Amino acid sequence: MISIKQTFYLDHNIKDVYEFVNDPVNEVSWVSSVKKVEQMVDDQLRLQYDFLGRKETFVMQISTEAFHLRNYKSVEGAFPMKGQQSFESIKNGKATKFDWYFEMDPGKYFGLIPLMIIKKATEKVMKKDGTNLNKLISQSMMSV
């Protein structure tokens, strides 16, 4: 089992951050391991991932509390994974604290690669994705 929690401080109000993160169209741009997204019924997304050289498709069940939480959990895929993203308004509403929790149990999916290496690689990708999120939200606001 791998569990990771990271916190990011974003220079955008909670509405802009929440709406960007919760829009399936943006998933490919800000989550670097996601290569394709298909919106399904009942708040489900079919996501094609490419991570550590392995390609896999997962169906994720999404639940939200507007401008506060986004939960996701695999209902189909090679191994169980789930996560939670929470949003907190800071700096008098001008910025957002974005907490990202992710958990997966890949079992032997990655073969002989030790779980610690998989965890470190996942942490690195999440850190890059969370850091890029600020820039991507800015760019999306300029194009509107």
Please, what is the average pLDDT of the chain? Answer: 95
Cα-atom radius of gyration of the chain, to the nearest Å?
A: 15
- For the chain, the structural domain boundaries read 2-142
**Cα dist from 86 to 24, 55, 58, 99, whole Å:** 17, 28, 22, 5
Q: Which pLDDT does position 122 carry in this prediction?
A: 96
Q: What is the CATH number of domain 2-142?
A: 3.30.530.20
pLDDT tier at 143, thresholds 50, 70, 90 = confident
pLDDT in tens, 62-82: 999 999 999 999 999 999 999
Indicate whether 56 pLDDT > 80.
yes
Contacts of 23 (CB under 8 A, 6+ apart): none
